[in-house]
Amino acid sequence: MQNFIIKLFDFFTSSDIKDFEVFEPEIIEPKEVMEKYRLANTQELFNIYGIPKENPKFLETIDLPYPMRLNWDKKILVNKMRCHRLVASDFENIFQEILNHYGYDEIKELGIDLFGGCFNFRKMRGGSDLSRHSWGIAIDLDTERNGLKTPFNKANFSKPEYNKLHEIFEKYGFLNLGKEKNFDSMHWEKGIKLWKT
Ligand SMILES: [Zn+2]
Protein backbone atom coordinates (compact mmCIF):
# COMPACT_ATOMS: atom_id res chain seq x y z
CA MET A 1 0.00 0.00 0.00
CA GLN A 2 2.74 2.40 0.93
CA ASN A 3 4.51 1.57 -2.31
CA PHE A 4 1.39 2.29 -4.18
CA ILE A 5 1.02 5.71 -2.55
CA ILE A 6 4.62 6.55 -3.34
CA LYS A 7 4.06 5.51 -6.95
CA LEU A 8 0.97 7.65 -7.06
CA PHE A 9 2.96 10.55 -5.62
CA ASP A 10 5.65 10.02 -8.24
CA PHE A 11 3.03 9.88 -10.88
CA PHE A 12 1.57 13.25 -9.99
CA THR A 13 4.89 14.93 -9.35
CA SER A 14 6.70 13.48 -12.33
CA SER A 15 7.83 15.87 -14.96
CA ASP A 16 5.56 14.12 -17.45
CA ILE A 17 2.66 15.95 -15.96
CA LYS A 18 3.27 18.95 -18.14
CA ASP A 19 2.57 16.78 -21.17
CA PHE A 20 -0.91 15.99 -19.98
CA GLU A 21 -3.56 17.46 -22.14
CA VAL A 22 -5.39 20.22 -20.37
CA PHE A 23 -9.11 19.64 -20.41
CA GLU A 24 -10.74 22.45 -22.29
CA PRO A 25 -14.50 22.67 -22.09
CA GLU A 26 -16.33 23.10 -25.36
CA ILE A 27 -17.20 26.73 -25.88
CA ILE A 28 -20.93 27.17 -26.37
CA GLU A 29 -22.06 30.44 -27.85
CA PRO A 30 -24.79 31.98 -25.70
CA LYS A 31 -28.13 31.77 -27.47
CA GLU A 32 -30.35 34.79 -27.77
CA VAL A 33 -32.44 34.99 -24.62
CA MET A 34 -36.01 34.06 -25.48
CA GLU A 35 -38.74 34.74 -22.97
CA LYS A 36 -41.65 32.32 -22.85
CA TYR A 37 -45.24 33.47 -22.49
CA ARG A 38 -48.64 31.87 -21.97
CA LEU A 39 -52.15 33.16 -22.53
CA ALA A 40 -53.51 35.26 -19.67
CA ASN A 41 -56.80 34.44 -17.96
CA THR A 42 -59.50 37.06 -17.45
CA GLN A 43 -58.73 37.66 -13.76
CA GLU A 44 -55.08 38.30 -14.58
CA LEU A 45 -56.13 40.82 -17.22
CA PHE A 46 -58.26 42.71 -14.69
CA ASN A 47 -55.36 42.68 -12.21
CA ILE A 48 -52.71 43.82 -14.66
CA TYR A 49 -54.59 46.08 -17.08
CA GLY A 50 -57.60 47.39 -15.15
CA ILE A 51 -61.32 47.48 -15.79
CA PRO A 52 -62.34 47.90 -19.42
CA LYS A 53 -65.10 50.25 -20.47
CA GLU A 54 -66.13 52.35 -23.46
CA ASN A 55 -63.35 54.96 -23.21
CA PRO A 56 -60.92 53.72 -20.55
CA LYS A 57 -58.10 55.92 -19.25
CA PHE A 58 -55.58 53.14 -19.84
CA LEU A 59 -55.55 53.73 -23.59
CA GLU A 60 -52.73 55.38 -25.49
CA THR A 61 -52.61 56.34 -29.16
CA ILE A 62 -49.51 55.31 -31.08
CA ASP A 63 -48.29 56.35 -34.54
CA LEU A 64 -47.90 53.50 -36.98
CA PRO A 65 -44.60 53.39 -38.95
CA TYR A 66 -46.56 52.37 -42.08
CA PRO A 67 -50.21 52.96 -42.94
CA MET A 68 -52.57 50.05 -42.49
CA ARG A 69 -55.74 49.37 -44.51
CA LEU A 70 -58.98 48.87 -42.66
CA ASN A 71 -59.87 45.24 -43.18
CA TRP A 72 -63.57 45.91 -43.73
CA ASP A 73 -63.03 48.96 -45.98
CA LYS A 74 -59.61 48.67 -47.60
CA LYS A 75 -59.73 52.14 -49.17
CA ILE A 76 -59.41 53.66 -45.69
CA LEU A 77 -55.86 54.02 -44.40
CA VAL A 78 -55.06 53.99 -40.69
CA ASN A 79 -52.04 55.87 -39.36
CA LYS A 80 -52.68 55.65 -35.63
CA MET A 81 -53.84 52.95 -33.27
CA ARG A 82 -55.31 53.00 -29.76
CA CYS A 83 -54.04 50.32 -27.38
CA HIS A 84 -53.32 49.82 -23.67
CA ARG A 85 -50.47 52.06 -22.55
CA LEU A 86 -48.66 49.08 -20.96
CA VAL A 87 -48.26 47.45 -24.38
CA ALA A 88 -47.90 50.63 -26.47
CA SER A 89 -44.11 50.35 -26.77
CA ASP A 90 -44.44 46.64 -27.61
CA PHE A 91 -46.74 47.45 -30.50
CA GLU A 92 -44.44 50.28 -31.68
CA ASN A 93 -41.47 47.90 -31.66
CA ILE A 94 -43.43 45.13 -33.38
CA PHE A 95 -44.61 47.35 -36.25
CA GLN A 96 -41.13 48.83 -36.66
CA GLU A 97 -39.54 45.38 -36.81
CA ILE A 98 -42.18 44.21 -39.29
CA LEU A 99 -41.35 47.20 -41.50
CA ASN A 100 -37.60 46.64 -41.16
CA HIS A 101 -37.89 42.98 -42.11
CA TYR A 102 -40.51 42.98 -44.86
CA GLY A 103 -40.53 46.55 -46.23
CA TYR A 104 -43.78 48.32 -47.07
CA ASP A 105 -44.34 46.70 -50.50
CA GLU A 106 -44.11 43.16 -49.15
CA ILE A 107 -46.21 44.09 -46.11
CA LYS A 108 -49.00 45.09 -48.51
CA GLU A 109 -48.46 42.07 -50.76
CA LEU A 110 -48.72 39.69 -47.78
CA GLY A 111 -51.71 41.53 -46.29
CA ILE A 112 -49.89 42.22 -43.04
CA ASP A 113 -51.22 45.80 -43.30
CA LEU A 114 -54.88 44.64 -43.20
CA PHE A 115 -56.01 46.02 -39.85
CA GLY A 116 -58.85 44.20 -38.14
CA GLY A 117 -58.81 46.22 -34.91
CA CYS A 118 -57.05 46.55 -31.58
CA PHE A 119 -59.07 48.22 -28.77
CA ASN A 120 -62.73 47.29 -28.90
CA PHE A 121 -64.89 47.06 -25.76
CA ARG A 122 -66.91 43.90 -26.35
CA LYS A 123 -67.61 40.34 -25.28
CA MET A 124 -65.68 37.46 -26.85
CA ARG A 125 -67.30 36.16 -30.00
CA GLY A 126 -69.57 33.32 -28.95
CA GLY A 127 -68.74 33.75 -25.24
CA SER A 128 -69.66 35.73 -22.15
CA ASP A 129 -66.07 36.63 -21.20
CA LEU A 130 -64.72 40.02 -22.21
CA SER A 131 -62.74 39.99 -25.42
CA ARG A 132 -59.01 40.65 -25.00
CA HIS A 133 -59.62 43.59 -27.33
CA SER A 134 -61.51 45.25 -24.47
CA TRP A 135 -58.14 45.91 -22.81
CA GLY A 136 -56.41 47.02 -26.03
CA ILE A 137 -53.80 44.26 -25.68
CA ALA A 138 -54.85 42.31 -28.80
CA ILE A 139 -54.73 42.93 -32.52
CA ASP A 140 -56.42 41.27 -35.51
CA LEU A 141 -54.75 41.24 -38.93
CA ASP A 142 -56.04 40.03 -42.32
CA THR A 143 -59.30 38.72 -40.88
CA GLU A 144 -60.68 37.28 -44.12
CA ARG A 145 -57.85 34.83 -44.80
CA ASN A 146 -57.36 33.91 -41.13
CA GLY A 147 -60.93 33.32 -40.03
CA LEU A 148 -62.24 32.70 -36.55
CA LYS A 149 -63.14 29.08 -37.32
CA THR A 150 -60.32 28.28 -39.75
CA PRO A 151 -57.80 25.76 -38.35
CA PHE A 152 -54.28 27.16 -38.20
CA ASN A 153 -52.90 24.95 -40.99
CA LYS A 154 -55.58 26.34 -43.36
CA ALA A 155 -55.03 29.95 -42.26
CA ASN A 156 -52.89 32.22 -44.42
CA PHE A 157 -50.68 33.10 -41.45
CA SER A 158 -49.47 29.48 -41.22
CA LYS A 159 -47.51 29.90 -44.49
CA PRO A 160 -43.70 30.08 -44.17
CA GLU A 161 -43.50 33.67 -45.40
CA TYR A 162 -45.18 34.68 -42.13
CA ASN A 163 -42.67 32.87 -39.88
CA LYS A 164 -40.82 36.11 -39.22
CA LEU A 165 -44.10 37.87 -38.44
CA HIS A 166 -44.85 35.28 -35.75
CA GLU A 167 -41.29 35.52 -34.46
CA ILE A 168 -41.54 39.31 -34.11
CA PHE A 169 -44.84 39.17 -32.21
CA GLU A 170 -43.53 36.36 -29.97
CA LYS A 171 -40.39 38.33 -29.17
CA TYR A 172 -42.61 40.90 -27.45
CA GLY A 173 -44.80 38.30 -25.72
CA PHE A 174 -47.73 38.32 -28.16
CA LEU A 175 -49.31 34.93 -28.82
CA ASN A 176 -51.25 33.97 -31.93
CA LEU A 177 -54.51 32.19 -31.16
CA GLY A 178 -54.22 30.06 -34.29
CA LYS A 179 -50.93 28.65 -33.04
CA GLU A 180 -52.15 28.41 -29.44
CA LYS A 181 -55.72 27.17 -29.92
CA ASN A 182 -56.05 26.27 -33.60
CA PHE A 183 -58.65 28.95 -34.35
CA ASP A 184 -58.76 32.76 -34.74
CA SER A 185 -55.35 32.97 -36.44
CA MET A 186 -55.96 36.67 -37.19
CA HIS A 187 -55.53 37.39 -33.47
CA TRP A 188 -52.42 38.13 -31.37
CA GLU A 189 -52.63 39.04 -27.68
CA LYS A 190 -50.12 39.90 -24.99
CA GLY A 191 -49.34 36.90 -22.79
CA ILE A 192 -47.98 36.38 -19.29
CA LYS A 193 -44.23 35.93 -18.97
CA LEU A 194 -43.19 32.44 -17.84
CA TRP A 195 -39.43 31.97 -17.94
CA LYS A 196 -36.27 32.64 -19.87
CA THR A 197 -34.31 30.03 -21.79
ZN1 LIG B 1 -58.97 39.35 -31.99
How far apart are the CA of 41 and the centre of ligand 1, in A?
Answer: 15
Query: What pLDDT was estimated at residue 4?
Result: 52
How far apart are the CA of 110 and the centre of ligand 1, in A?
Answer: 19
How far apart are the CA of 131 and the centre of ligand 1, in A?
Answer: 8
pTM score, two decimals?
A: 0.82
Please give the tally of structural domains in the chain: 1
Using N-to-C axis directions, what is the helix angle for 88-110 and 163-171, rounded to 10°?
Answer: 170
Query: What pLDDT was estimated at residue 125?
Result: 72
10-residue block means of pLDDT along the chain (197 residues)? 52 53 65 81 96 95 98 97 98 98 98 97 80 97 97 98 98 97 98 82
How far apart are the CA of 196 and the centre of ligand 1, in A?
Answer: 27
Query: What pLDDT was estimated at residue 195?
Result: 75
How far apart are the CA of 162 and the centre of ligand 1, in A?
Answer: 18
CA distance 153 to 159: 8
How far apart are the CA of 102 and the centre of ligand 1, in A?
Answer: 23
How far apart are the CA of 133 and the centre of ligand 1, in A?
Answer: 6
How far apart are the CA of 124 and the centre of ligand 1, in A?
Answer: 9
**In-domain check, residue 7:** no
**In-domain check, residue 49:** yes
**In-domain check, residue 137:** yes
How far apart are the CA of 32 and the centre of ligand 1, in A?
Answer: 29
Instruction: Give the chain's end-to-end CA distance (angstroms, integer).
Output: 51
CATH number at residue 99: 3.30.1380
**In-domain check, residue 138:** yes
How far apart are the CA of 104 and the centre of ligand 1, in A?
Answer: 23
How far apart are the CA of 185 and the centre of ligand 1, in A?
Answer: 9
SS3 138: strand
How far apart are the CA of 121 and the centre of ligand 1, in A?
Answer: 12
How far apart are the CA of 176 and the centre of ligand 1, in A?
Answer: 9
**In-domain check, residue 180:** yes
Query: What pLDDT was estimated at residue 123?
Result: 78
CA distance 56 to 136: 10
Sorted by sequence, the CB contacts under 8 Å of residue 146 that are 6+ apart come out as 155, 156, 157, 178, 184, 185, 186
**In-domain check, residue 87:** yes
* Domain of residue 173, residue span: 37-196
Q: Which is it for the CA torsion 157, 158, 161, 167, positive or negative?
A: positive
**In-domain check, residue 107:** yes
**In-domain check, residue 96:** yes
